[in-house]
Amino acid sequence: MKKAVITGVTGQDGSYLAELLLSEGYQVHGIVRRSSTENFERIGHLTDRITLHQADLLDQSSLTTVLEEVRPQEVYNLAAQSFVPTSWKQPVLTTEFTATGVTRLLEAVRQVDPKGIRVYQASSSEMFGKVQEVPQREQTPFYPRSPYGVAKVYGHWITVNYRESYGMYCVSGILFNHESERRGKEFVTRKVTDGVAKIKLGLARELRLGNLDSKRDWGFAGDYVRAMWLMLQQEAPDDYVIATGETHSVRELVQNAFDCVGLDWKKYVVEDPAMIRPAEVDLLIGDPSKAMKVLGWKPQVTFPELVRRMVFADLQRYQRTVPVETRKAA
Ligand code: NAP
Ligand code: G4F
């Protein structure tokens, strides 16, 4: 039975990846950081089938200890401070988690079993930032626009460097935005679908957003974790862009989401200048042709399906949890 360790198992991607690996017959180990309350909302349904270990990307020896105990064949590094606006508020911490944390994990792998453990690093389309080419592919130069993007560029290159320096099987997946009903509510897709559900049920009157003009290549997280797994099953390690090849503006996202419940978005959305970022990534659109050709990977869920699925998941959640008397349908 293959063994895998996932850092960031409590996050959106960690939960989908744990499900996928279990379905592929793996013994799954997740790394969780210590907190005063448990944060297992996304993995509650899995806790009897996965083993959790306390460790932290800030603490080198905790990582080495987990790898020595588990002796996995695969390590997926999904842990990060992943919210772009927070990276301007906490730039040093973001660097520690998202950049230096990658070196700590790679060092732990190098010390424990450099030839036997394969490593996946969660790189990001944020590295393309002020894009130098459209669409973005593996060879497109990076131009990050936030402390988060800069930290991810470091994580990307240190992963390539350990591959080239030590002959380790380390890969970086350059993943474009991927979403789901498990997405954190601070990210724009979930903020919109949650907002639409609340407005529809009379629990909110408006939805305050920032830049409606920026464009993203949005896919479904469940499709993207399969690409992570496929990258570690190849004969040779390599880096891949994972994207749908389509781009949509935040405005289109908003319109699609309000259309799902038959409401006119213009009546509810307020553009709030306070939410404009110090430096914006205006346009992301990926070219996934290498992943399609080499990995045989293809996204299954389309943009309208993704938005619909998220809107209805949020509606159902409020319908389940908020008493009818409290709601005043829009
Ligand atoms: P997420 O939902 O924000 O999850 C992040 C995970 O990292 C959480 O489990 C979090 O634990 C953990 N974590 C944070 N700091 C840690 C530390 N110091 N030690 C141990 N664990 C720590 O992110 P996601 O959307 O699943 O994304 C997964 C990875 O892919 C991230 O690296 C992200 O930057 C990258 N990425 C995401 C996208 C996307 O569109 N989703 C695209 C490209 C790349 P807590 O639960 O304790 O906070
Ligand atoms: O949903 P977002 O916060 O995602 P962003 O910044 O693209 O980053 C996400 O995707 C990256 C991959 O490219 C990941 F690496 C990263 O970890 C994260 O998962 O914002 C998307 C766009 C931005 O242009 C933002 O300015 O939506 C715009 N936006 C407009 N109003 C908003 C809002 N974003 C948020 N979060 N909240 C708003 O109210």
Omega before 141 within 30 of 0, i.e. cis:
no
Residue-wise pLDDT tens digits, 101-147? 999 999 999 999 999 999 999 999 999 999 999 999 999 999 999 99
Specify the amino acid at residue 324: V
Q: Which residues line ligand 1 (CB under 6 A)?
A: 7-8, 10-14, 31, 33, 39, 56-58, 78-82, 97, 122, 124, 175, 177-178, 184
Please state the atom number of ligand 2 nearest to the C-alpha of residue 189.
1
Q: Is 289 a member of any domain? A: no
pLDDT category at 324 given cuts 50, 70, 90 is confident
Q: Is the pLDDT of residue 327 over 80?
A: no
Same domain, yes or no, for 266 and 233?
Answer: no
Same domain, yes or no, for 211 and 227?
Answer: no
Please state the atom number of ligand 2 nearest to the C-alpha of residue 146.
6
- pLDDT exceeding 70 applies to what percent of the chain? 99
The average pLDDT across 216-240 equals 98
Please tell me the distance between residue 199's alpha carbon and the centre of ligand 2 in angstroms. Answer: 22
Same domain, yes or no, for 137 and 15?
Answer: yes
pLDDT at 330: 63
The average pLDDT across 209-218 equals 98
Angstrom distance (rounded) from CA 126 to CA 136: 11
For 196, the token pair is 């639409």
Same domain, yes or no, for 56 and 164?
Answer: yes
Ligand 2 contact via 143 beta carbon (within 6 Å): no
Same domain, yes or no, for 226 and 272?
Answer: no
Contacts 24+ apart (CB under 8 A), 287-291: 287/135, 287/136, 287/137, 287/241, 287/243, 287/245, 288/240, 288/241, 288/242, 288/243, 288/244, 288/245, 289/137, 290/137, 290/138, 290/240, 290/241, 291/227, 291/230, 291/240, 291/241, 291/242
Please tell me the distance between residue 210's alpha carbon and the centre of ligand 2 in angstroms. Answer: 10
- Residue 230 has a CB neighbour count (10 Å cut-off) of 17
Same domain, yes or no, for 166 and 269?
Answer: no
User: The whole model's pTM is what?
Assistant: 0.97
Average pLDDT, the chain: 97
Catalytic residues: 124, 126, 148
Same domain, yes or no, for 105 and 128?
Answer: yes
pLDDT category at 321 given cuts 50, 70, 90 is confident
Q: Is 294 a member of any domain? A: no
Same domain, yes or no, for 60 and 99?
Answer: yes
Q: Based on the structure, what is the number of domains in the chain?
A: 2
Residue nearest to atom 6 of ligand 2 (CA): 84
Q: Which domain holds residue 32?
A: 3-179+219-242
Ligand 2 contact via 265 beta carbon (within 6 Å): no
Same domain, yes or no, for 205 and 69?
Answer: no
| Domain containing residue 202: CATH number | 3.90.25.10
Please tell me the distance between residue 262's alpha carbon and the centre of ligand 1 in angstroms. Answer: 34
Ligand 2 contact via 191 beta carbon (within 6 Å): yes
pLDDT category at 239 given cuts 50, 70, 90 is very high
Same domain, yes or no, for 200 and 106?
Answer: no
Encode 21-59: b = buried (16+ Cβ within 10 Å), e = exposed: beeeebbbbbbbbeeeeeebebbeebeeebebbebbbee
Q: Is 293 a member of any domain? A: no
Residue nearest to atom 10 of ligand 1 (CA): 8
Angstrom distance (rounded) from CA 46 to CA 39: 13
Please state the atom number of ligand 1 nearest to the C-alpha of residue 56.
19
Residue-wise pLDDT tens digits, 155-198? 999 999 999 999 999 999 999 999 999 999 999 999 999 999 99
Please name every residue paired with 175 in a beta bridge, in sequence order, or none if there are none.
124, 242
pLDDT at 329: 61
- Does residue 217 sit in helix, strand or coil? coil
Q: Is the pLDDT of residue 325 over 70?
A: yes
Q: Which residue, chain included where needed, has tokens 């399906």? A: 305
